[in-house]
Structure 1
Amino acid sequence: SSFSCSEPLLNVFYENVIRSLKSNSADVPTDCPTRERMGWTGDSQLFFPSASYLTLYAPFARKHLRDVFDRQWRSGRLPQIAPYNAEDWYMATMNGSSGWADVGILMPYYFYKKYGDERILEEHWEGIRRYALFLLKRQGKWGGVYAKPLHLKRKYARYAVNRGQSYGEWAEPVDVKAFYWFDFASPHPEVSTAYTAHCLSLYLEIASILGKEKDALFKKAEKGAEGAKLAYQQLRKTKAYPLDTDRQANLVRPLAFHLLEKEQEEYARKRLIEAMEHYHWRIGTGFLSTPLILGVLSDIDPDSAYRLLLNKECPGWLFMAEHSTGTVWESWEGQLGQKGTASLNHYSKGALVEWLYAGMLGIQVEGENHFALAPVIGKGVDWAQGAYSSIYGEISLSWRKEGGKVAFRIKVPGNCSATFSYKGARRELPPGEHDFLV
């Protein structure tokens, strides 16, 4: 695949992402090729949507998922690292961490949506089902001395997740959320309840795709998913986890997963823009929410997404590019992060590439032999072009601003069709080349 645009530093960052992906894809999706060299499942699940635009990622992802489910415990719990590789003893309790172990539902789902291949769901159905049961059993349980009271009514608390050590958002900028050792011991109920609601909803969708609605677990999962969503809504009304916050991740996550009541959602959208202003339009998310933030901002206001994307101060993607090491950094602060131990070749924060294809270019697979083309165009970029080598053939799209309008050039592969939409304009495109102004 290919991508370029009028902002040179974004082109540099794109190339850096490709180098980090290549150097961390030697049989296992490693976090970095120099230090840990482990298949961290949080990194792999959040980067799959980007990797599958950049490369033919299906064979690699299929092998990784087999490694993941090979480590599944009898309880249904899934690992933080796959395959097993020198986990220190104190890390064992981190297996099952929300956002990491969720790879067992998220990656098969992403795989199916991108490639339309039900076989990945069929192959891992039993493992997916066991993990969903693990999620259900964890709801409402006490999490030990490091689990702070949630102050929720019993009917909500029984579906919240305040048990199991987890990483939380992980690796936010130091001035947003500095790391402390007890962060490893906390269940991170805001993150864990959100991911439980989201993953159980995707489990139900997977079950429906496979015709498993009559499975004994289906009704329980429906109740668990809805209960977790309601618990999350109530959790965000407490003093400990308010929506009135400048932590971008805590606003992006519920908006991306559609977890909030209508009034809460309207407030969170406005509050996110305020949070961006307060942080001077620099990025303040960590591992889990970085892939989500541009999509969320695009839904609020495309210019806001572009303003964040094009920020050149630290922390920011273009700051990384301007001080380029040729690869993507683990910490937004580069080698100064994590007291000098942070990796300088860590692909996870390069997960914005998904948005470059699905957002800026607007290219998305929408069923067999069909694409949705809905480019998001904002201030600061004058032109963009790219091509995605899908399993149905290469589809390309370029746009250029011309005197108040936008000129589009699109090539749809043979035996395919595409639905184009931009600012109210809509066209059904057959195979071939198409040039027009909107």
Structure 2
Amino acid sequence: MRRISFILYFILPAMCIMAGNFKPSRLRCEYLSNPICISERHPQFSWIVSSDDNEVWQSNYELLISDNLSSLRKGEGNMWNTGIVNSDESIQITYEGKPLKPFTRYYWKVRLRNQVGKWSDWSEIAWFETTMLDEADWKADWIGDGSQQFVRDEDFYKEDPMPLFRKEFSASNGIRSARLYVSGLGYYEAYMNGKKVGDHVLDPGWTAHRQQVLYSVYDVTSMVAKGRNVLAFMLGNGWYNPLPIRLFGTYNLRDVQQTGRPIVKAELRIEDKNGRVSRILTDATWKVSPGPIVRNNVYLGEKYDARLEVEGWNRVGTPRGTWRSAVKKQGPSGSMTPQMQPPVKIIERISPFSVWKTSSGTYMVDMGVNFAGVASIKVKGEKGRTISMRYGENIHPDSTLNWLTTTAGHIKSMWNMQGGPGAPKDAYQEDKYVLKGIGEEVYTPKFTFHGFRYVEVFNYPGTLSADDITGIRLSADLERTGFFECSDSLYNRLHEVTLRTFRSNVFSVQSDCPGREKMGYGGDMVATAESFIYNFDMAQFYRKTVKDFINDQSPAGGMPEIAPNTGIIINGIGDGSGPLGWQLAFPFVQKQLYDFYGDKRIIERCYDSFTKQVEFINSKTVDGLFHWDIGDHVALDTKDDAFAASCFYYEHVRIIAYFAEVLGRKDDAIRYEKLAEDIRQRIVKVHLLSGTGRYGNGTQGTQAFGLYYNLSEENKKAAFDWLVKEYERHDWHVATGIFSCKMAFDVFRTLGRNDLAGRLVSNIDYPGWGYMLEQGATTLWESWEYPENGSSQNHPMFGSTEEWFFRSLLGINSLSDAFKKIEIKPQPTNDLKWAKGSYSSIRGQISSDWSIEDGLMRLSVSIPANTSAIVYVPSLEGQMVETTSSLSRFLYWKDGYSVFEVPSGTYTFRVKPPSPHDP
């Protein structure tokens, strides 16, 4: 007779009382803290419900918004008073008050009532400022230096001094506020009275200028002085005035993007204490002069001639140099919108690991790690001497620089890849500085960025030491949301290396690499979006990404392979659209914004564009499926592109059916659900070998695809067995590409075989992540092979291990409504002794901390207030589980887990050894 199994759980001493610490915190408007850049007429608000107690829920809220602080302090919301709202929602609360005005600060606060009727104190007062709400609110002109654009391609490579602009103005005493609204194309730096405005670099972010131009808003109140002032700008080419270099010998950005000579548009808005407003606008009264930056390009680098510096150009007084009136220009056709995504900033200064002199007399600098940014150098020497800094990710065996993995678009003579008239034979990254010969000089490139670990310095006077050169690490200023650590040093190293790779590839687009291409490839986003989100707040960054795709959607509906579109199309489906796996980024990123952040607005606003895309894709099928794509990129096994393409087609339709359901569009939901089912059945009929579980050509990749998309429930076990056999055939090494790596991790997690995923990640020989680390990689490679002269050494697309760390090892997953209902289900691998980490969701921080001692599990979890969780404690059937709170409600034991339901709070579970009296 089979013994009936049971689980006992004991309650350790614990208290659950309603203390006075229940409050709203982390108030956000459009995901931002006290922003000054809101152009949305109906902004959305979010807060976190904070409490140190267990089992705390918000049952009501009251939100007040006022256009003056005194009214709000009196409890008056003269713009919006929600009244007492019967709701437990704390995210994406849409403004429904009086019409907002431009250039206005609004103050807001919120209070909450918990489930037992107790009100919190009012939150601290937060605020937001509106900027231009309509294009007509802009009064400034685009201005330039009046120079004509080059006609011949080869002329673009000549020296071309970038313009400096200045405007003197007077300000009275008693300034209440001063805001600078500015866009300088391609890049700019702003100065007020000789000091740089803000800490952004490489501003503004890259967009399709034909559709959209970003501007930034700065609080410059403290920078404006009583009396005379000067506002000044230095411009660079950026993405608005790129070189006509033929990337990969073919693709010229100037053929695709709206381009032009460097221009600037700005408004300085000053309000005095009496409410009077004065504006300083860019127009033809501004003065312009050529500056010391004589070459600059995002790929090839910058040349700065210090002899051409204009003394006093950005300060009050009469500057030296030749100044003339600026010229009003026709700007790009795109609408002006505020830059909401995190700006690029200096995030770290890196001291060299070593410096040595080469046999040829140059100096080689090893920064110790691969990263994105520039090098800053100190130098003292004679006037006119030119020093050069050439960048690369590697060195040759003779210790000379290897720049072959970072040449722009693979333009290099060894491959006979030519960049067109005037382009260098070898398009490496290089910055040059011409000395002015006055004391110690410091040069930091302004309008370029590179991917590198090594810097070779040419023609340096004297002896270069580690104190003379610094690595300037640049990245979008993303807020960290995830933390992970475990007992396996390889996993910890992989985590560190992957995050460095991620940070190297967020320069306003999620790029493939920071050296060779710098472009927003859609497929890479599909492979890694969740991995990025678990580690960083990507809400506004990915909102921009979605807009980038819409900006370049074709008239017929197709999406590009890359956004902003650069003209690169490989195995697209027609009308200038990209391959399906890369088009998939458009809906896939939207889905992550909804699933992680509850951002329903993004799918509402993009729904028409998405339906247009899906209908376009549907019109391009052959026999109801697709037969071409890039497929499972960089897989070692033979790819089955037809199978992958059809799966991507299926996923497009599945997602739009899901969105239609979310938005309440029932007819669309029914229609697209039926279409998705028809596609699934056709895929199974064509690509599944009946009775065997083999999908497509039966590789690791195709099996992962079939199982990830759950194409055949009845063949799931056979398909998984086939997948395992494929891994066994490769001696438990990966042969998967960027998509199926991610998919395989998900398959192992959902089927409860995370031990197999651990075997794959732990390998230190070729091919695999561990092999990269053993070869000294400090960022992830583009290929499984060691990239010596082709592939990039700083590529995020294999970074789906991060999703695995959080979803599988820590077990942190959302069950519904952007982590309103949470799952904690850690799946330890065979050799892992402990793991701990957290994810700061939009609703609060979720943590998972487990260890195994003497074969028994201890699991501690923290669940944010106003949420609940299902907690899976690894255990054997019949083992007793001890918990710290009576609020932990035991549900059942299944498949190696004791399953509990818990409200918000902190809990520890311990699996107890069997009693000696147990039968």
TM-score over 0.5 for the pair:
yes
| Structure 1 residue corresponding to 2:518, chosen from 24, 28, 37 | 37
Partner Cα distance (2:696, 2:842) in 1: 44
Conserved? CA contact 2:833–2:852, under 8 Å: yes
Partner Cα distance (2:759, 2:587) in 1: 33
| Structure 1 residue corresponding to 2:656, chosen from 203, 225, 232 | 203
Q: CA deviation at 1:91?
A: 7.9
How far does the alpha carbon of each residue in 1:14-38 deviate from its partner, in whole angstroms, 9 at most, with x for none? Answer: 1111111111001111100000111
Q: CA deviation at 1:399?
A: 0.8
Partner Cα distance (2:655, 2:555) in 1: 22
Tell me the SS of whatever aligns to 1:366.
strand
| Structure 1 residue corresponding to 2:808, chosen from 349, 354, 359 | 359
How far does the alpha carbon of each residue in 1:63-103 deviate from its partner, in whole angstroms, 9 at most, with x for none? Answer: 01100111111221111100023538998967331211011
Conserved? CA contact 1:136–1:221, under 8 Å: no
Match of residue 192 from structure 1? 645
How far does the alpha carbon of each residue in 1:43-81 deviate from its partner, in whole angstroms, 9 at most, with x for none? Answer: 112211111100001110000110011111122111110
Structure scoring higher RCO (CA < 8 A, sep ≥ 6) equals: 1
Partner Cα distance (1:243, 1:6) in 2: 36
Match of residue 25 from structure 1? 506
How far does the alpha carbon of each residue in 1:217-268 deviate from its partner, in whole angstroms, 9 at most, with x for none? Answer: x5543332112111111122469x9538552001000100011251x32221
Partner Cα distance (1:325, 1:233) in 2: 40
| Structure 1 residue corresponding to 2:900, chosen from 419, 423, 427 | 427
Matched AA of 1:161: F
Is 1:375 the counterpart of 2:826 in the alignment? yes
Is 1:302 the counterpart of 2:761 in the alignment? no
Is 1:160 the counterpart of 2:621 in the alignment? no
Change in 2 beyond 3 A, CA 1:221/1:92: closer
Tell me the SS of whatever aligns to 2:661.
helix
Q: CA deviation at 1:301?
A: 2.2
Partner Cα distance (1:214, 1:430) in 2: 37
Change in 2 beyond 3 A, CA 1:46/1:324: same
Partner Cα distance (1:114, 1:228) in 2: 28
Q: CA deviation at 1:295?
A: 1.9
Count residues with an aligned counterpart: 402
How far does the alpha carbon of each residue in 1:181-209 deviate from its partner, in whole angstroms, 9 at most, with x for none? Answer: xxxxxx92201111212221121011010
Partner Cα distance (1:117, 1:244) in 2: 36
Q: CA deviation at 1:306?
A: 1.6
Partner Cα distance (2:554, 2:657) in 1: 22
Match of residue 59 from structure 1? 540
Is 1:177 the counterpart of 2:638 in the alignment? yes
Partner Cα distance (1:305, 1:115) in 2: 28
Match of residue 104 from structure 1? 586
What is the correspondence of 1:1-400 to structure 2 with a 5 Å cutoff? 1-85=482-566, 87=568, 95-139=577-621, 141=622, 158-162=623-627, 165-173=628-636, 176-177=637-638, 188-215=641-668, 218-237=669-688, 242-243=694-695, 247-262=699-714, 264-298=715-749, 299=751, 301-336=753-788, 340-368=789-817, 369-400=820-851
Conserved? CA contact 2:579–2:630, under 8 Å: yes
Conserved? CA contact 2:549–2:560, under 8 Å: yes
Q: CA deviation at 1:333?
A: 1.0
Conserved? CA contact 1:116–1:367, under 8 Å: no
Conserved? CA contact 2:632–2:644, under 8 Å: yes
Match of residue 247 from structure 2? none
Partner Cα distance (2:607, 2:786) in 1: 40
Q: CA deviation at 1:106?
A: 1.4
Matched AA of 2:584: D
Matched AA of 1:168: G
Conserved? CA contact 2:596–2:842, under 8 Å: no
Partner Cα distance (1:352, 1:7) in 2: 14
| Structure 1 residue corresponding to 2:861, chosen from 394, 404, 410 | 410
Tell me the SS of whatever aligns to 1:28.
coil
Change in 2 beyond 3 A, CA 1:89/1:408: closer
Conserved? CA contact 2:527–2:798, under 8 Å: no
Tell me the SS of whatever aligns to 1:318.
helix
Query: Which structure has more strand as a fraction of its residues?
Result: 2
5+ long unaligned stretches in structure 1: 142-157, 179-186
Tell me the SS of whatever aligns to 2:596.
helix
Query: Which structure has more helix as a fraction of its residues?
Result: 1
